[in-house]
Amino acid sequence: MTQSPRPQPKPGVMDIAAYVPGKSAAPEGVRLHKLSSNENPLGASPAAIGAVKALAEKMEFYPDGSATKLREAIGEAHGLNPANIICSNGSDEVIGLIAQTYLQPGDEAIFTEHGFLVYKIYIQAAGATPVSVKETDATANVDAILAAVSDKTKIVFLANPNNPTGTYIPFDEVRRLHAGLPPQVLLLVDAAYAEYVRSNDYESGIELVSSSQNVVMTRTFSKVHGLGGIRLGWAYAPAHIADALNRMRGPFNVNAAAIEAGIAAMRDRAHVERSVAHNEQWLAWVTAELTKLGLKVTPSVGNFVLVHFPEGEAAHSAAKADDYLTARGYVLRRVAAYGFPNALRMTIGTEEANRGVVAALTEFLKA
């Protein structure tokens, strides 16, 4: 047997398409309006900023490996038992932990065709087989998901609301999905954008987790709380799943700054309310103004919109629009990797950024 001249990754690793984040730079000399990563245009809570500054005086100390006070703050805000909460280095870490804990070679895991790209990455990293299920009108289809379940299925990943589409399914549909799954299949409800949803038929998943043994809900501090740079997320899970995940996670997976910022952010409800109100106002405005320009906008309940550009030879492609906007400092997200080669995702930004994008696209479409 021929020996390799250098270390080789295990089979399957080099088949994984690495995640590529949204752009974060504009041309030199042009003011940047970063609308590519669904960040909070109001920034972080002043209380969270103060908490991080205070921590700078004691950075030599290890954080609490159990993030006890942070779990208590989350539990207090949402009415949950802190013992059922797992904190993580961004919600994507706990999603990866779930995949590593419950998937192995020979298993399958399901996600919808326009779902968060990290689902497929973590499924493959665990050596399992990713199964992509078609959506209907860019929205998860419960019947299609259930039809894809086999005796090899171990996890169903459901982003609700979904990124980059901004669509969601009502919670009676989530419950119907859960009811149709075998008890040994784990349903992961990724509710990263839950705080933004204003629809009466939406639930984040807390009640379903509380009444089930095979449901986990994941959440993040990166969106409405404005803490994307801190990297902080959490999951709410049945006790047996929390126990398994705590055995798999790193001993200090949440850093001290994230813990202190998260506690302060979770308790600053006024900042959350301001952020949601800003988004509610400008999501409607941006959707209406882009529609007036003749662009198709997928109805969104998140803090972003998916903007589709005309098809055909004479059409203005999304790539050309992206270049035009970037040159003027408006950085949006290309979403070809998500199955939308002729669309851009735009985060709802400040008033200045929102008006600027609409004005720039008005000129672009006239050109």
84-121 pLDDT tens trace: 999 999 999 999 999 999 999 999 999 999 999 999 99
Is residue 296 a contact partner of residue 256, using CB atoms and an 8 Å limit?
A: no
pLDDT over 70 (residue 219): yes
Residues of the chain above pLDDT 90, percent: 90
In the chain, pLDDT over 70 holds for what percent of residues?
Answer: 99
Q: 235-274, pLDDT tens digit by residue?
A: 999 999 999 999 999 999 999 999 999 999 999 999 999 9
Q: pLDDT class for 221, splitting at 50, 70, 90?
A: very high
pLDDT band at 277 (very low <50, low <70, confident <90, very high): very high
The count of other CB atoms within 10 Å of the CB of residue 267 is 16
Query: For residue 137, what are the contacts with CB-CB under 8 A and spacing of at least 6?
Result: 167
Residue 53 pLDDT exceeds 80: yes
Q: Which CATH superfamily is domain 13-44+270-366 in?
A: Aspartate Aminotransferase, domain 1 (3.90.1150.10)
pLDDT, tens digit, 9 for 90 and up, residues 302-357: 999 999 998 876 566 999 999 999 999 999 999 999 999 999 999 999 999 999 99
Residue 181, pLDDT score: 98
State residue 23's pLDDT score: 79
Tell me which architecture the domain covering 46-268 has in CATH: 3-Layer(aba) Sandwich (3.40)
Residues of each domain in the chain carrying CATH 3.40.640.10: 46-268
The per-residue pLDDT for 314 is 58
Task: Name the strands in the sheet holding 129-133, side by side, starting at the edge strand that comes first in the sequence.
Answer: 85-88, 233-236, 215-220, 186-190, 153-159, 108-112, 129-133
Confidence (pLDDT) at 282: 98
Instruction: Tell me what pLDDT residue 22 has.
Output: 79
| CA–CA distance, 70 with 76 (Å, rounded to integer) | 10
Q: Does residue 42 register a pLDDT over 90?
A: yes
Higher per-residue confidence, 162 vs 30: 162
Any idea which residue has 């202190």 for tokens? 260
pLDDT computed for residue 48 by the predictor: 98
Q: What is the mean pLDDT of the chain?
A: 96
Closest CA to 206 of 73, 77, 39: 77
pLDDT of residue 313: 60
What is the model's pTM? Answer: 0.95
Cβ-contact 41, 353 below 8 angstroms: yes
pLDDT of 170 over the 90 cut? yes
- 8 A C-beta contact, residue 227 and residue 262: yes
Give the model's pLDDT for residue 302. Answer: 98
d(CA 150, CA 36): 36
Kindly provide the b/e burial profile for residues 42-59, where b requires at least 16 CB atoms within 10 angstroms of the residue's own CB. eebbebbbebbeebeeee
